[in-house]
Amino acid sequence: MPRFTLSPEVADALRRRRPVLALETSVIAGGLPYPANLELAQAVDDAARAGGAVPARVAVIDGGLHVGLTEEQVDRVAADPDAVKASIRDIGRVAAGGGIGALTVSGAVHGARLAGVEVLAVAGVGGVHRGAASSFDVSADLPAFAANRVAVFCAGVKSILDAGLTLEWLETHSIPVIGYRCEEFPGYISTSSGQPNPHRLDDLGQIARAVLAHWDAGAEGGFLVTHPIADQHEVPREQLEVRIAEAEQAARQAGVTGPAITPFLLKELARTSAGQTSAANREVLLSTTRLGAEFAVRLHEARLAGLEPEDHVADGHPADAVLSLSAAGSTGSTGLAGPGRPAEPGLRR
């Protein structure tokens, strides 16, 4: 039986039927040094609020999965040098050890689905790595998208990955990809990855209705919405490709493989670009979060417009079950009998 803890703010937002936006936490623990990482986290949270949504960061803290963090908890994730980057597979191990797990997109999507939060925003998602034909290196983000009904708003896959193969993977697993006002699939800190978006729509409300229609038709997986970094903040793709090749060579010489490869390459790119990629990453993280929050508002409005009062739990959507729990007075630890089902009476709140 899944168990997680909602922050008081997120529990209140769900109870009051306000838009909520899920956010990962690995960017806090695995990026900038403290306190610069804390300042960035606060700026991202502010961007979510400016877009109209309550931010819900997802992390493992004190032996449990948390959806929504207090200011003190965000500071702990940012300041703790022992906080570890964690995906879905690591949640149990980190929780059992009592440490802090700064969750990647895969872990955050998992937590969001359990809590009934239907939108997550992130600058760049994981995907199929370059050379995956021999390494079989595919990010855990992708199967998490296939397994969870969460719409992910992003600026494409991280630049160091293979955008073309990632799109092929998403198509194989029936995960829709729609570009919001963009023909080309974004390249994270570049406006284009060189690949076309499978589809384009120019209205967030229409995209929200498409997401709900996808789920209402019985599809169990997620939905990817992309929008690029602003032109004035991008690192041109041709210039970036040269630096990526150099960073990959440095990784091979250092013997870096597995989960360590992505943070290594990103730090190497920041070093060789004299901080240009880090500045671009900050800009795209803030802009994607703001737009992701606006999309969460549109999806929330579309969800409410399609519900009758008596359908709030019976229609089977995870958010409705959590709202039912919140209405019963739950503002802390929550138990669900399964996605979209109300908790059994007597469960610890």
Q: How many alpha carbons lie under 13 Å from residue 247 in its C-beta half-sphere?
A: 25
Give catalytic status of residue 234 as yes or no: no
Give every CB contact of residue 340 below 8 A, 6+ residues apart in sequence. 316, 317, 318, 320, 321
Q: How far apart are CA 101 and CA 208, in angstroms?
A: 31
Find out whether 338 and 347 touch, Cβ atoms under 8 Å.
Answer: no
Angle between helix axes 105-115 and 318-327 (nearest 10 degrees) is 60
- Say if residue 19 is preceded by a cis peptide, omega within 30 of 0: no
Q: Give strand pairing partners of 66.
A: 5, 59
Amino acid at 261: I
Q: Based on the number of CB atoms within 10 Å of its own CB, is 52 exposed (0-12), middle (13-18) or buried (19 or more)?
A: middle
Of these residues, 24, 118, 234, 268, which one is catalytic? 24
Catalytic residue among 9, 85, 118, 158: 158
CA pair distance 56, 68, nearest whole angstrom: 4
The neighbouring-strand residues paired with 56 are 22
Task: Establish whether 158 is a catalytic residue.
Answer: yes
Q: Letter for the amino acid at 27?
A: V
Helix (H, G, I), strand (E, B) or coil at 335: strand
Catalytic residues: 24, 158
